[in-house]
Amino acid sequence: MNPIFPYPTLPVPLQASITKAVVDGITLDDKIVLEQKQLVAMHDHFDPKWKRLDATLDVAIQPEIVQQYETDHGELRVFASLNCRPTNQRSSVELFRSPTERGRWTGSVSVDRDSFAGRVDLAVTASATANGLAGRVVGSSDPWWIFVDEPNSLKVGGALRVAWVSFRAPEAPALAQQYPESTHVVELEGPVPVVYLNQDFEGLYALLQDRKDRAPVELALHDAHRYSIARSVWMALVLDSVMSVEPGEEESDANWPSKEWQSEVLKKVLPKIAPDKTDQELLNLAANDWKSGTSSAIFLGRAEAVVGEVVDSNAALRKSLHKLNRAGVFHDESKQTS
């Protein structure tokens, strides 16, 4: 939600782009600088010992809007600021106005690896004199996120991390070694969940890999097992997230889990379990009633049904059955009349 100020502000947000990002002399590609998501995934950089990131910024506002605002309220100045909560590190630089384009500013910011951790928020703001006071914030851009370390959010990568490993190998994760006959395990103890697939499980890789030349029955088996894994993994995510909800002290409200991905899971699933409840009411239920007794059984039953919709397994099964029926492989006898 945009803040409401008691003085005139710009009617549109600033458009901030990173036009170039250089790490220790090497220009980053679009696998690290994700323009559409407005994030820089430095945790995925090939060299974990990188020292300095220099990002060139381009900020634009419609020239006619700038002209009108400055005519009425005076000159605009634009700043880029870095804010890192884990290290309490803050810095700000003023951007340079283009001598030829009225609504454009450029400049750069630098991130030293040793001075930042976790997520660094890059914000661009415009300031001007308002109500007789200089330096009032009159506009801002959507923030960019620079992830120095592995993020604890599922939204960054857009999907769960998945890795093929030999479950019998000595270097395999301990959980995988403990269950060498399983097709998969999900590790929940790190910053974000990781799904490990068992490359020792004969035929599993061939079954799960993406191919366009599968026969109808093989494709149905491929889809069924992929969605089976997704459904079981998501149930693990839901349960882990619910168990991590922090009850409030005495009669105060419960708090969201400390890990961002757990809050994301709950905000996606809980409203579908009890649509008539507010977010806070759902959180209070998760912190208390849904963790034990009959209410827990009711919650688990509903959660399992909701997860089927979240991972689209129900829709996928309907699609597979339709294809098999068209191919003459499967017939739904329940719809046949005598």
The percentage of the chain sitting over the pLDDT mark of 70, rounded to a whole number, equals 93
Tens digit of pLDDT for each residue in 105-163? 999 999 999 999 888 999 999 999 888 888 899 999 999 999 898 777 666 555 678 89
- On whether both 114 and 174 belong to a single domain, the answer is no
- On whether both 184 and 132 belong to a single domain, the answer is no
- On whether both 91 and 207 belong to a single domain, the answer is no
Q: What type of residue is 4?
A: I
Does pTM surpass 0.75? no
Q: Which of 96, 125, 147 marks a domain boundary?
A: 147
Coil, strand or helix at 290: helix
- On whether both 88 and 141 belong to a single domain, the answer is yes
Q: Terminal CA-to-CA distance of the chain, rounded, Å?
A: 61
**What integer pLDDT is reported at residue 292 of this predicted model?**
74
CA 148/CA 157 separation, integer angstroms:
14
- On whether both 182 and 94 belong to a single domain, the answer is no
Structural domain including 266 reads 161-325
Q: Which of 147, 177, 210 marks a domain boundary?
A: 147
Do 285 and 274 contact (CB within 8 A), yes or no? Answer: yes
Question: Please, which residues have CB within 8 angstroms of residue 135's CB and are 6 or more apart in sequence?
Answer: 127, 129
Q: Which residues of the chain have pLDDT under 50?
A: 1, 338
- On whether both 307 and 186 belong to a single domain, the answer is yes
- On whether both 129 and 217 belong to a single domain, the answer is no
**Considering just the CA atoms, what is the radius of gyration of the chain in Å?**
26
CA 74/CA 128 separation, integer angstroms:
7
Q: Record the tokens describing residue 203, joined without a space.
A: 């035929």
Q: Which of 123, 147, 171 marks a domain boundary?
A: 147
Residue 212: DSSP 8-state: S
**What integer pLDDT is reported at residue 338 of this predicted model?**
47
